[in-house]
Every structure is written in C-alpha cells, then in structure tokens.
Amino acid sequence: METTQTEIRIYVACLAAYNNGHLHGAWIDATQDVEQINAEITAMLAASPIEGAEEHGIHDHEGFGGIRINEYDGIERVVILAEFIQKNGALGAALLNYYSDIEEAKTALKDHYGGEYLTVAEFARELTEETGDVPERLAFYIDYDAMARDLLINDVFAIEVTIDETHIFWSH
C-alpha cells in the first residue's frame, strides 16, 4: 500500500478573532502528535489580534480523503485519523469513509484484506485459478465478470481507489 501524497493538515482558527470580524488562524500538520498540535494552537492563540483569546475551532482540513472533520472535533481524533491515512494512503481514507469507525477500518485491513487488483473480475480469475485447475479448452468460457458480481453480492466488498486500483475485502 502506498502512502498519501496530499499533506494532511487542519486549519485552526481563533474564535475570539473570528467573532470580532478578524480572520486569524494557522494551518497545522495533523500528522504530528497531540502535544505538538496543541502547542501550535496555543502559539496561534497567543498571536491573536484579540487579547486573551482562548478558544479555537477547526475551520478547514485537507488530505483526509473526504472524511468529515468538525469544528469542535478533538485533536486526539484528528491525530488518529491522520495517522491511519498517512500509513494507508487513499485506501485508508476510503476505508474510514466506508466504515465511519477507525477500529472497524483497522480490522478490515488486518483480518479481511484480500489484495489489490485491477478489477473484481481479475480477483475472481485469480481465485478460480488458485483453487482449482481450469482446463485450457474451457478457460475461454468462464465469465469472470459474472463471478465478480456474485462475489460482490455474497462474499466480498471492493473499494476502488483509482480506475486501476481496486482493493478486495472478505465480508465474513
């Protein structure tokens, strides 16, 4: 699995400045540990145009692959999601979108991952060839697209990350 190429970061804004008509905040690398992010938030608040600013909110994010980061999400959650995406790239983000739960996404990768293929039909072909001998004279008649549809109904689910990168997971 490849790592993500997009920087994973959050834009943290000073709410005191925002509520007083000022845009003040900072883009922060979300792949740092919680303490480092909190230190950057504290520094951003200290530099606020509003004296004594204490509250912040996450107003934007990048590199999370469609995962929703809310204004008041905890930094711990942000770091956990960022680490998973950094480690697993676009597949990690797609799994988090599919499951909406980090533990389920981790379990899927650890226990149910079937591999990366161009298509589900390619997976069906490989599975067929690995589990039995297909006589050469009959190989032309096997409909791997139909087998792929059947596998998707009962046995597997697929996450297509790009046009030629499909990841297969066993459903059971």
Above 50 in pLDDT, residue 11? Answer: yes
pLDDT recorded at residue 172: 78
Residues 83, 31 contacting (CB under 8 angstroms): yes
DSSP per residue over 3-14, as a string? PP-S--EEEEEE
Summary count for the chain: helices (H), strands (E)? 7, 6
What does the pLDDT read at residue 5? Answer: 52
Q: What is the average per-residue pLDDT within 94-111?
A: 93
Q: What is the H or E stretch that residue 26 is in? A: strand 25-29
Q: How confident is the model at residue 1 (pLDDT cuts 50, 70, 90)?
A: very low
Statement: residue 4 has pLDDT above 50: no
Mean pLDDT for the chain overall: 93
Least confident among 112-116, 135-139, 149-153: 135-139
pLDDT value, residue 73:
94
Please state at what angle helix 102-111 crosses helix 75-99, rounded to 10 degrees.
60
Could you report the per-residue pLDDT of 37-86, keeping only the tens digit for each? 999 999 999 999 999 999 999 999 999 998 999 999 999 999 999 999 99
Residue-level pLDDT at 3: 44
